[in-house]
Structure 1
Amino acid sequence: MAKLKLLAIIWMVLVAMLAGVLYTPMPEGLEDPFGATVFMAGYKVAMSFPLVVREFLGQGRFLDNLEAIQDPILGEGDRSPITSWFGGLNVTRATIEGVPVIVYKHWDADDDKLRPGLIYFHGGGWTLASADTYDWTVYELALATGAVAINVNYRNAPQHPFPAAFDDVVSVTRHILRHGKQFGIDVSRVGVAGDSAGGNLAAATALHLSKKFPDLPALKYQALLCSFIQGLTFHLPSHIDNAETLPSLYTKTVTAFTSLYLGLGGRNGEFHGSMFLENRHVSPEFRTKSKFAKYVDVQNLPEKYRTAKNAAPTAKESHNETVFQRIKSVLVDPRFSPLMADDLTNLPAAIVVVQKYDVLRDDGLLYAKRLRDSGVETVLHEGKGFHDDQMKILPDLLRSKTGLKAFKNVCEFILRKTKSN
């Protein structure tokens, strides 16, 4: 009996310790703290713990470990996608223009009825995740919108830095716009969508095809969810105030991903990540006085978000001119920073999803304003949630109300833009 009591006590202590580790304090004003707590616990188990443990054991620093955990996340092999067992859709692997994809077709998509097309680009900071990581999310999007969905497994950094991911997603999108009928897709009703880094790729693709390939059928929409839109500054109010609010995405993680995507990884990965975090990757003159400065002016944000409540990270040194000259042209390249494009007119209709407690909130707000000012039909969904809130990685019963709202609004927007005339 004594041994059983001891085991019970040990078990309760371990459970209490695990609960303490998995618990994340929620910011005041979050719409659904319980849903956010469940999400963050799952996120810590899947993502944060492997990084922390590896770093604690001396097996590498933050950026090194981001690279190290790619293989188990990306290694889908030849197995069937998990959702192929769900029913409701025919889910198969394919290759388009040399890029692996997962295709989600409705059972009647092989007859003469052509359906809308939805091309999805996954998040993960251009560095982590894969089409398989987003299998459930894209499956649900295909079901809800009635579209034939293409889930693109583009190449990841640091092995394949910019513009590899962009080139992959553009190649796939161009192929679908030219040959979509082969997949049961009506090429006059195709749109692009993505979250985080995938939202960046979706915005850049919509912009690029609109300006460079007017001979192709025009995209009907772009769905940009909690997206990275610019890399000129990492001191917007949302970068500062939400820097370490919730572990789904910290500002230091954004800057780490950015440095890897721009080919600045390797042994100096931590150095470059901190440089971006302190805004030392750009000269102060260029950031504040060039023609691009107006695009990141906080006066373009809603008044309630124009002033950061916290102080920005203090730069330990002056800007690094060598790095700045190396990446200067990319920072203002619309393929990387869609917000830096001189002309945003005549782009496909957009839904821009932002969440109050997301470090990328202000990127989305700035882009939505510029799109509207350029005459582009733009729906802004402003939630009181966090980064990744809209992802389908849990049963609806355990998902946050904020995420469910965002997902529902995105699907309704896509349905409106792709309905048959």
Structure 2
Amino acid sequence: MDPELEAFVPLFPPANLNDPATDRKNFAELAGSVPKPDTSGMTVEDHVVPGDPGVPVRVYRPDEAQGAVVWLHGGGWVMGTLDTEHPWAARLAEAAGAVVVSVEYRLAPENPYPAALDDSYAALAWTAEHAAEFGVDPARVAVGGHSAGGGLAAGIALRARDEQGPAIRFQLLNQPGLDDRQESWSARNFTETPWVNRAKVASMWGHYLSGQQATPYAAPARATDLSGLPPAYVASAEFCPNRDENIEYALRLLQAGVSVELHQWPGTFHGSQAILTADVSQRQIAELGGVLRRALAG
């Protein structure tokens, strides 16, 4: 493991999701400990996507933007709010020079699948409809997310393809949760990895699916046809249960004729880019922004 990251491992709370209320409190405390982002070069506004229920979103608008991304937070479908995602959404907007629409989708276990997917898809449709108001071309709208949010981004890309929904220019998938079956080598063997391990992944999927059979929109790795999807960037962490399913999904996208950039980050663990003092974390965040900037400008 990267020594700059390893020093922080003892500071992380236990890697489980057995008590959602406590886990959400711990998650909020971790997010609150991250240095605040500089938002002086952008406008930040809260909106509600109309619907039943409405979906809260926070829109980050840099002074000059090439396009927009519907950004879906991590947290195992159980944790996360607009406020906990604020440090990352603002940094992405700055690094990418893009409008970031951060989505507060409904959380499990109170709201299991497909609540989060439906909210995310509604936010995508709303963003495409209002893109011109944000000063961007509706043809330059991407989807992206971290962890569970990356899985949601991949899921709404599949749904948009199948339902002839809003055009998506790009998928930015950072350590996405894609496969509920947990059959890969990394999913089976990473039982003691920091922050996320096999048991925590099982809890995530258990809360999200709530006894339902996973569909490809819930677990995109189950999709048998990946053709016709937008180009993608897929990032994995070396010591992460999701690692092998991330790499396999990227390979399957390539085999289906989808252009893909794949980066497996050595020495990292799931979510370790939150440790901003580490050189590798700074490179990860910069790369996410740079990749999105190029995808929206090209």
Question: What TM-score do you get using the length of structure 1 for normalisation?
Answer: 0.64
The list of structure 1 runs, each at least 4 consecutive aligned residues, that deviate by more than 6 angstroms after superposition, is none
CA shift digits 1:254-286 (9 cap, x unpaired): 10111111125xxxxxxxxxxxxxxxxxxxxxx
The aligned counterpart of 1:230 is 179
Deviation at 1:345? 0.8
Decide which of 98, 104, 119 is 2:60's aligned counterpart.
Answer: 104
User: Does 2:86 match 1:135?
Assistant: yes
**Which residue among 9, 19, 24 is the counterpart of 1:65?**
19
Supply the distance in 1 between the matched residues of 2:168 and 2:273 (Cα, whole angstroms).
23
CA distance in 2: counterparts of 1:357 and 1:72, whole angstroms = 22
In the alignment, what sits opposite 1:87? 40
Contact 1:389–1:402, Cα closer than 8 Å, also in 2: no
Shift of 1:130: 1.6
The 2-side partners of 1:388 and 1:63 are apart by 15
Is the counterpart of residue 338 in structure 1 residue 291 in structure 2? no
Relative to structure 1, is the Cα distance of residues 74 and 166 closer, same or farther in structure 2, using a 3 angstrom cutoff?
Answer: farther
Kindly tell me the number of residue pairs found equivalent between the two proteins.
289
The residue that corresponds to 2:32 in the other structure is none
Q: Is the 8 A contact 2:193 2:269 kept in 1?
A: no
- The change in CA–CA distance for 1:377 and 1:386 in structure 2 (over 3 A counts) is same
Cα distance in 2 between the residues matched to 1:107 and 1:365: 35
Cα deviation, 1:189-211, whole Å, max 9, x if unaligned, reads: 11011111001000001111022
Q: Which amino acid aligns with 1:250?
A: N
Paired residue for 2:264, among 366, 378, 382? 382
What is the match of residue 37 of structure 1? 7
Which residue is 1:13 aligned to?
none
Structure number having the greater helix percentage:
1
For the 8 Å contact 1:131–1:153, the answer to whether it is kept is yes
Structure-2 change in CA distance of 1:83 and 1:34 (3 Å) = closer
Match of 1:169 among 98, 114, 120: 120
Q: CA, structure 1 residues 34+377, in 2 after alignment: closer, same or farther (shift >3 Å)?
A: same
- Select the structure of larger CA radius of gyration: 1
- Match in the other structure for 2:193: 245
* 1:347 counterpart letter in structure 2: L
Structure 1 residues 366 and 83: alpha-carbon distance in aligned structure 2, compared to 1, 3 A threshold: same
Residue segments in structure 1 that go unaligned for 5+ positions in a row: 1-29, 52-61, 76-81, 109-113, 265-326
Distance 1:228 1:73, change over 3 A: closer
TM-score, length-scaled by structure 2 = 0.89
Q: Distance in 2 between matches of 1:206 and 1:388?
A: 23
CA contact (8 A) 2:68 2:136 kept: yes
Q: Which residue of 1 aligns with 2:169?
A: 220
Aligned letter for 2:198?
T
Distance 1:241 1:64 in 2: 21
The alignment status of 1:154 with 2:37, answered yes or no, reads no
CA distance, structure 2, for counterparts of residue 93 and residue 134 of structure 1: 13
Kindly report which structure 2 residues correspond to 1:359-374, keeping only aligned pairs within 5 A, or say none.
359-374=241-256
Output aligned runs, 1:46-61, within 5 Å: 47-48=13-14
Distance in 2 separating the partners of 1:94 and 1:85: 21
**Identity score, percent:** 29
Structure 2 distance, partners of 1:415, 1:230, is 28
Partner of residue 122, structure 1: 73
Separation in 2, partners of 1:63, 1:34: 26
Which fold has the larger relative contact order, with Cα–Cα distance below 8 Å and residues 6 or more apart in sequence?
Answer: 2
* 2:183 counterpart letter in structure 1: H
